[in-house]
Amino acid sequence: MKEEYIELENRRLIYDYMLNNPGSHLRKISGALKMHLSTLRYHIHFLEKRELVVSKKEKNLRIYFIAGKVSEKDKIIVPLLQQKRFRDIVLTIIITPRLTHAEISDNLAIKPPTLSKYISILEDRGIIYHEKMGREKRYSISDEKSIMELLLTYKKSFWDSLVDNVLEIYFER
């Protein structure tokens, strides 16, 4: 039945893109597929009605997933990994666990107030946690194995050599 719904080229392109890039929003999909927003909305609505695609509202964006392909926990993590800044912070902590705020800021050249916002979101979603050491907080990944599995599963969608390097380092440990 699914094949019948994605026979049209545009729907198949959208479906395949969402399969490889879960947690993408309309403009990202539109840009990647070079498809007008109105056309994209029409086909996504069609796919949602037939329960092949599910969406989730996140702040001011609606993000899309293929139904049944991504767990609820991963629906929280994957959209952040799709964003370079969040991904860079997570990868930096994976490479060197227990970094301080200042060390992360220096490594990634992110201003401390900006980094604080990113870290707050990552902590709220349970992706990272901190331990207090005197006056400093040291950051670690909550479930490193899950993050690595997601990075490995969706590494094609990141187009990021840092992901490849981290995966290589992780599997050499």
**Pairwise CA distance, residues 38 & 44, whole Å:** 10
pLDDT tens profile 74-109: 888 988 888 889 999 999 999 999 999 999 999 999
**Pairwise CA distance, residues 119 & 37, whole Å:** 32
- How high is the pLDDT of residue 93? 96
- How high is the pLDDT of residue 153? 82
Judge whether residue 166 has pLDDT over 80.
no
Q: Which domains does the chain have, with CATH numbers?
A: 2-69 (1.10.10.10), 76-172 (1.10.10.10)
pLDDT tens profile 40-59: 999 999 999 999 999 999 87
pLDDT tens profile 117-146: 999 999 999 999 999 999 999 999 999 999
Contacts of the segment 85-88: beta carbons below 8 A, 24+ positions apart: 85/110, 85/118, 86/118, 86/121, 86/122, 87/158, 87/160, 87/162, 87/163, 88/162
Largest CA distance in the chain: 61
pLDDT band at 163, cuts 50/70/90? low
Q: Residue 31 corresponds to which amino acid?
A: G
Residues 6+ apart with CB under 8 A from 94: 141, 144, 147, 148, 166, 170
Altogether, the residues listed in the chain come to a count of 173
Structure tokens at 111: 């201003």
**Pairwise CA distance, residues 166 & 91, whole Å:** 7
